[in-house]
């Protein structure tokens, strides 16, 4: 039997998701036995004796050197820094894709003012920031970036990476000043849920309404962090489970082949999707009742919603609402209802295994046949094909 050392924190959703993916994939390797180790194990002279390979969140250069000294094949599933000279394989989320997804989400909500809050010098944060800002620049928008004070960066690895601590950091005062200075209706993308939690907590202390003044988006989709934040936190799922599964496949290849160890794979896993909650449930539009109307449509998309329902909700006349939709959105009430139904269907198809008939009903379509025709006309492929493609991405 081959003993595989797993050095991954499990206090929050991302680490647990990676471990769950490892556990799901390991039985395909008939002779693997998984064993959790701690960072302290690396300090022991015989700490990794008897192991055949390691999957680890490599937190810093010191840890990397100790893992390399073992001579074992190592797969890094943190990738906050690259260690090409040490011969590690690496599997991580596609950080650039995450940054682009965040930008596209905020653009779909009609924002024109944007900001980023992360941790400089950490690869995943910098890549997400650059991809977010680059996509926005291509659309003609700038992006304000919070400059993390040096003392906060110094404590990042211990408090955020190893302890996975959720709380205000050493930069809380500087962050409060920065947030107060952002323009009204700014979309704030944070490098992870912990950072987003800090932003929302400071906004609450400073009397800055979220999402009415600042909309906030995180990454990790940690259900505890996102649900225990007020308002609840929108977040991007960075596919931790698939990262763990892929790490098993990479380590298996490295253990079997010396040539693979000499040129170990670097794999980036696409994000699992964006989960919208209250912190971004707004459209950056004036008058505000137009935004409220769009949120009403999204929340009630599974019902047999009509244009009359929307106008009744706004307490404005049909003509007023229709004209506002045309001037601000280039659309109509009915087209926005139809668009929301298709988006809800896409979400259900990509994230669930519900039958198409159930997806149709939950998306507000009167019949499966009408749903199938409408979906193919809008998306260009059938619902079944869309689901197959989503499962492979």
**Where residue 336 sits, what CATH number does that domain have?**
1.10.10.60
Pair 250, 168 in one domain: no
pLDDT at 102: 98
What CATH number corresponds to the domain at position 189?
3.40.50.2300
Q: Within this chain, do residues 99 and 39 fall inside the same structural domain, yes or no?
A: no
Q: What's the confidence (pLDDT) of residue 45?
A: 74
What radius of gyration do the chain's Cα atoms show? 23
pLDDT tens digits along 183-209: 999 999 999 999 999 999 999 999 999
What is the rounded CA–CA span in Å between residue 27 and residue 50?
20
The per-residue pLDDT for 220 is 93
Sequence-distant (6+) residues with CB within 8 A of 114 are 103, 106, 132, 133, 136, 141, 142, 143, 144, 186, 187, 188, 189
In the chain, the number of structural domains is: 3
Chosen domain end from 254, 280, 306: 280
Task: Give the C-alpha separation, 86 to 64, whole Å.
Answer: 8
The answer on pLDDT for 169 being more than 80 is no
Which helix (H) or strand (E) element contains residue 108? helix 95-108
pLDDT score of 148: 86
Mean pLDDT of the chain: 91
Q: What is the dihedral of CA 45, 47, 53, 59, to 10 degrees?
A: -90
Mean pLDDT of 226-249: 95
Looking at residue 159, its pLDDT comes to 53
Residue 167 has pLDDT above 80, yes or no: no
| Partners of residue 76 on adjacent β-strands | 56, 90
pLDDT, residue 158, reads: 52
- pLDDT, residue 44, reads 84
- Please tell me the predicted confidence (pLDDT) of residue 392: 67
DSSP letters, 196-237, are HHHHHHHHHHHT--TTTTEEEEEES--HHHHHTSSSPPEEEE
How confident is the model over 88-122, as pLDDT tens digits?
999 999 999 999 999 999 999 999 999 999 988 88
Task: Say which residue, 40 or 19, is predicted with more confidence.
Answer: 19
* Least confident piece of the model among 157-166, 228-237, 286-295: 157-166
- Categorize the per-residue pLDDT at 11 as very low, low, confident or very high, splitting at 50, 70 and 90: confident
Residue 155 has pLDDT above 80, yes or no: no
Same domain, 261 and 176: no
- Report the pLDDT value the prediction gives residue 81, as an integer from 0 to 100: 74
Q: pLDDT band at 378, cuts 50/70/90?
A: very high
CA atoms within 13 A on the CB side of 68: 14
Of 125, 161, 131, nearest in space to 14 by CA = 161
Most confident of the ranges 40-44, 68-72, 83-87, 160-164 = 68-72
Rounded mean pLDDT of 336-346? 95
CA angle 193, 42, 87 (to 5 degrees): 80
Residue 84 pLDDT class (50, 70, 90 cuts): confident
- Do 82 and 194 reside in the same domain of the chain? no
Whether residues 322 and 207 share a domain: the answer is no
Q: Looking at the structure, do residues 36 and 85 belong to the same domain, yes or no? A: yes
Q: Residue 254: pLDDT band by 50, 70, 90 thresholds?
A: very high
pTM for the whole structure:
0.87
Per-residue pLDDT at 122: 82
Residues 302, 374, single domain; the answer is yes
Q: What is the dihedral of CA 242, 246, 249, 255, to 10 degrees?
A: -140
| 111 and 231 together in one domain | yes
Residue 131 to residue 319: CA distance in whole angstroms: 41
Q: Span 68-72, mean pLDDT?
A: 92
pLDDT given for residue 61 in this prediction: 87
Range of the domain at 299: 288-392
99 and 87 in a common domain:
no
How confident is the model over 261-319, as pLDDT tens digits? 889 999 999 999 999 999 999 999 999 999 999 999 999 998 889 999 999 999 999 99
The answer on 226 and 244 residing in a single domain is no
Looking at the structure, do residues 247 and 167 belong to the same domain, yes or no? no
Same domain, 225 and 255: no
pLDDT of residue 210: 97
């Amino acid at each position: 039997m081959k003993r595989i050392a797993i050095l991954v924190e499990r206090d929050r959703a991302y680490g647990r998701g990676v471990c769950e993916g490892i556990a799901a994939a390991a039985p395909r390797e008939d002779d693997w036995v998984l064993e959790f180790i701690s960072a302290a194990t690396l300090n022991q002279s015989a700490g990794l004796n008897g192991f055949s390979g390691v999957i680890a969140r490599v937190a810093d250069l010191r840890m990397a050197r100790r893992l390399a000294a073992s001579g074992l094949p190592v797969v890094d599933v943190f990738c906050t820094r690259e260690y090409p000279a040490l011969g590690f394989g690496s599997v991580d989320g596609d950080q650039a894709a995450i940054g682009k997804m965040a930008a596209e989400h905020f653009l779909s909500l009609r924002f024109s003012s944007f900001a980023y809050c992360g941790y400089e010098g950490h690869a995943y944060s910098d890549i997400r920031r650059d991809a977010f800002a680059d996509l926005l620049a291509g659309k003609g928008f700038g992006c304000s970036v919070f400059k993390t004070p040096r003392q906060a960066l110094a404590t990042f690895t211990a408090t955020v990476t190893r302890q996975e601590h959720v709380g205000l950091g050493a930069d809380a005062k500087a962050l409060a000043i920065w947030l107060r200075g952002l323009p009204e209706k700014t979309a704030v993308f944070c490098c992870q849920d912990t950072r987003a939690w800090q932003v929302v907590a400071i906004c609450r202390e400073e009397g800055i309404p979220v999402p009415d003044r600042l909309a906030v988006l995180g990454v990790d989709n940690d259900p505890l962090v996102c649900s225990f934040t007020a308002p609840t936190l929108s977040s991007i799922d960075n596919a931790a489970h698939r990262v763990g599964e892929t790490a098993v496949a990479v380590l298996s290849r490295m253990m079997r082949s010396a040539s693979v160890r000499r040129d170990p794979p670097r794999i980036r896993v696409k994000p699992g999707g964006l989960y919208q909650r209250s912190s971004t449930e707004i459209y950056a539009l004036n008058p505000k009742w137009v935004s409220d109307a769009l949120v009403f449509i999204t929340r009630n998309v599974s019902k047999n919603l009509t244009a009359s329902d929307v106008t009744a909700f706004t307490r404005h006349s049909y003509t007023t609402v229709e004209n506002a939709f045309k001037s601000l959105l280039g659309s109509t009430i009915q087209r926005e209802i139809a668009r929301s139904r298709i988006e809800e269907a896409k979400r259900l198809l990509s994230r669930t295994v519900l039958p198409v008939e159930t997806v149709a009903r939950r998306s507000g379509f009167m019949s499966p046949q009408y749903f199938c025709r409408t979906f193919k006309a809008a998306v260009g492929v059938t619902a079944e094909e869309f689901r197959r493609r989503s499962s492979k991405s």
